[in-house]
Amino acid sequence: MSLNFCILASGSSGNCSVIWTEEAAILVDCGCSARYIMENLASLGIPPENLTATVITHVHTDHISTSGFSFLLKNNIPIYLHKDIFEDLSRKYAKKVAKCINISFNKTFKVKDIVVDSFDVYHKDAHISHTLGFTFSSIVNVKKYKIGYVTDTGKICSKIIKSLVNSNILVMESNYNKTMLDSSFRPYDNKKWILSDWGHLSNESAASAIAEIKRLSTDNESLKYVFLAHISSHHNTREIAVNTTRKILIREGTSNINLLIPKRDRRCPAIRIS
């Protein structure tokens, strides 16, 4: 048995990841084109008919694009949706939503041998009413392994931290550098929203959260891989995000974490736990 994970794309131009075992394959968001998703899944040996579920964090276009949604419908891939996110999706795609295989859930559900837990995060605007983070757990050689996933949130609270404790793989938004955001071309109202508790997460806040998750984790294999996700192309850089995070982790006494930066237009190497 194995638990596998791959980020296909991460950033404001599109977000999509896949988690799979020998029994199940779950797509997390589909904010890229159908062609891009299919090509990258094929490179991993996952045909569309092998996808057993999709989960959507929220309905911003970079997390569920028109093309990505059409890919789900065309291939009859079940979509697990929180009721509020289903309503957001209905407003966006109207009659198309009636064609999707919609499976509602509350907090925890199971897709074959993968247990999925959802939790609320802080990301909201006039177009979306609800955003979720997820954890995905599966047993490999009698041990439970866990993937934590937070791509968009304006802040991190103790409940989010608790949900992510003991994650072996962690995806954490590290969206902006405040100095770069302040001097960027973006309108004032957009900057104000990004900086708010309902916008996006700064490098410093992401690093502090990672340090706290590591401090509270009891699994000695926790945070073996940490992806700094959704890095802005306008008010952040890969180098600033990594350097800021490493500096804070060292200050907090946590320096043995493998930091990875997913790309916007190219999939990451797959991680396999076996």
Give the model confidence (pLDDT) of 48-63 as tens digits. 999 999 999 999 999 9
pLDDT of residue 255: 75
Examine the pLDDT at 104 and tell me if it is beyond 90.
no
Q: Is residue 26 part of a domain?
A: yes
What six digits make up the tokens of 213?
């998750």
pLDDT of residue 107: 85
Secondary structure of 127-184 as H, E, C letters: CCCCCEEEEEEEEECCEEEEEEEECCCCCCCHHHHHHHCCCCEEEEECCECHHHHHCC
Q: Is residue 269 part of a domain?
A: no
* pLDDT band per the 50, 70, 90 thresholds, residue 256: confident
Residue-level length of the chain:
274
For residue 174, give the CATH number of its domain. Answer: 3.60.15.10
Examine the pLDDT at 186 and tell me if it is beyond 90.
no
Q: Is residue 274 part of a domain?
A: no
DSSP label at 259? E
> Sign of torsion, CA 170 212 107 56?
negative
pLDDT of residue 63: 98
Q: Specify the pTM.
A: 0.96
Q: Is residue 143 part of a domain?
A: yes
* pLDDT band per the 50, 70, 90 thresholds, residue 135: very high
Backbone angles phi, psi at 240, to 5 degrees: -65, -45
Q: Is residue 272 part of a domain?
A: no
pLDDT of residue 1: 86
Q: Is residue 19 part of a domain?
A: yes
Residue ranges with strand state E in 24-168: 25-28, 53-55, 79-81, 102-104, 108-111, 114-120, 132-140, 143-150
Structural contact between residues 9 and 62, judged by C-beta atoms closer than 8 angstroms: no
* Residue span of the structural domain in which 51 resides: 3-264
The domain tally of the chain equals 1
Q: Is residue 34 part of a domain?
A: yes
